[in-house]
Structure 1
Amino acid sequence: MRHIAIYVRVSTKAQDTASQEADLKKWVQAHVGDEPVQWYRDKFTGKVMDRPGWSKLEAAMQAGRVSKLICWRLDRLGRTAKGLTALFDDLPKWKVRLVSIKDGLDLGTAAGRLMANVLASVAQFETEVRAERVLAGQARAKADGKTWGGSEKGRLLSVTQDQVEMILRLHGEGKSKSAIARATSVSRPTVYRIIDQRA
């Protein structure tokens, strides 16, 4: 039996999904009858589409088990134009209707598809601008003579358990360290350190 998929994502474990879930539960109460609902959740960066909760949801959609995909905002699905536009192409093939409750999107119309692609580009733009701000801040701090201290050996900073698991899985699949670093949004030294620690 097909079900309605509700997808919730935040970027880090420190962030809370409460505001998303409150709005999504209201949508379910207002629009869902007897059709079953299944929730999929991630605490993972939106810069990559390979995320644990999303991978389960994508497999369910490909298998024809999902009728609708509901999200709070489009950028919860991902923050790269490439990943989102590929998804927009796949959803009609899988016969899945996308509803983004804050964006008011319906991919069943030409206007909806145009708006979805514009929002995908905006999501990527916001990510790139944020990265540029971080780099500019680091350059400014370095010019002011500020330095960052080291940490105790073996300690992993700002790396989630999901990222560690993905690094080890991709390493097991024979991916290069550079490709793993790009896919998981961590530095190559961190990738090497995680692999070495688990060896």
Structure 2
Amino acid sequence: MLVGYARTSTLEQKAGLEAQRAALEAAHCERVWEEQTSSVGHRTGLSEALSYLREGDVLVVTKLDRLARSVRHLGEIVDHLESKSVGLKVLDLGLDTTNATGKLMLNVLGSVAQFEREMMLERQREGIRKAKAEGKYKGRKPTAQAKAAEVRSLIDEGMPKRSVAHRLGISERSVYRIAGKA
């Protein structure tokens, strides 16, 4: 069985998710998991897809960076797939780990993808550093602090901090930070 996994980093990337969905359907995936979350956050969809896979199945993704955040993470996923006798296909690379050449190429391309990401992050840091030096970079808008009054109100009503965080779409850490300033 072909099982697809699609991911975008943000909710605004609807077109990217739709394109992945279309590619996975064109590849004849019988089941597809989708999510819109950062690669570094908890990925429920990926966890569910990996749990669903059975011997002989193949996990299909459109791009390598939609699956893993680093070579190490990719290795962990591949090890998990191999322990279940499950293959991996990466559509944009024409990669299929059900053969030896595909496994070799996966390792090489995973390293290249990690290198590209590290270079992009380095350029981003340089750009931010330059913008700060020119007084143009202000950082991101403090979204949790804008909800401070709501946080305090819900806490005063007796709502648990974890529930407050979930309800307002902010981190628990932010809720505790705001509560501590009261």
**In the TM superposition, what are the counterparts of 1:76-115 in structure 2 within 5 Å?**
76-115=66-105
1:56 is matched with which residue? 48
Structure 1 gaps, min length 5 = 157-167, 169-189
Secondary structure at 2:57 match in 1: strand
Please say if residues 106 and 112 of structure 1, whose CA atoms lie closer than 8 Å, have aligned partners that are also in contact: yes
Cα shift at 1:197: 5.7
Larger Rg: 2
Q: Given the superposition, is the C-alpha separation of residues 194 and 95 from structure 1 closer, same or farther in structure 2, using an over 3 Å criterion?
A: farther
1:42 is matched with which residue? 35
State the TM-score, normalizing by the size of structure 2.
0.72
Deviations 1:79-115 (A, max 9, x none): 2110001212221211212111211111122211111
Relative contact order higher in (CA < 8 Å, ≥ 6 apart): 1
Structure 2 gaps, min length 5 = 148-161, 163-170
- Report the residue type matching 2:116 in the other structure: E
Deviations 1:33-63 (A, max 9, x none): xxxx221011112245x411111112223xx
**1:15 & 1:154 partners in 2: Cα distance?**
26
**2:115 & 2:58 partners in 1: Cα distance?**
27
Does residue 6 in structure 1 map to residue 11 in structure 2? Answer: no
Corresponding residue to 1:68 among 32, 45, 58: 58
Cα shift at 1:198: 8.6
1:161 is matched with which residue? none
State the TM-score, normalizing by the size of structure 1.
0.67
Considering only aligned residues, what root-mean-square deviation do their CA atoms show, in Å? 2.8
1:176 is matched with which residue? none
Please say if residues 5 and 60 of structure 2, whose CA atoms lie closer than 8 Å, have aligned partners that are also in contact: yes
Please say if residues 47 and 78 of structure 1, whose CA atoms lie closer than 8 Å, have aligned partners that are also in contact: no
- Report the residue type matching 1:24 in the other structure: L
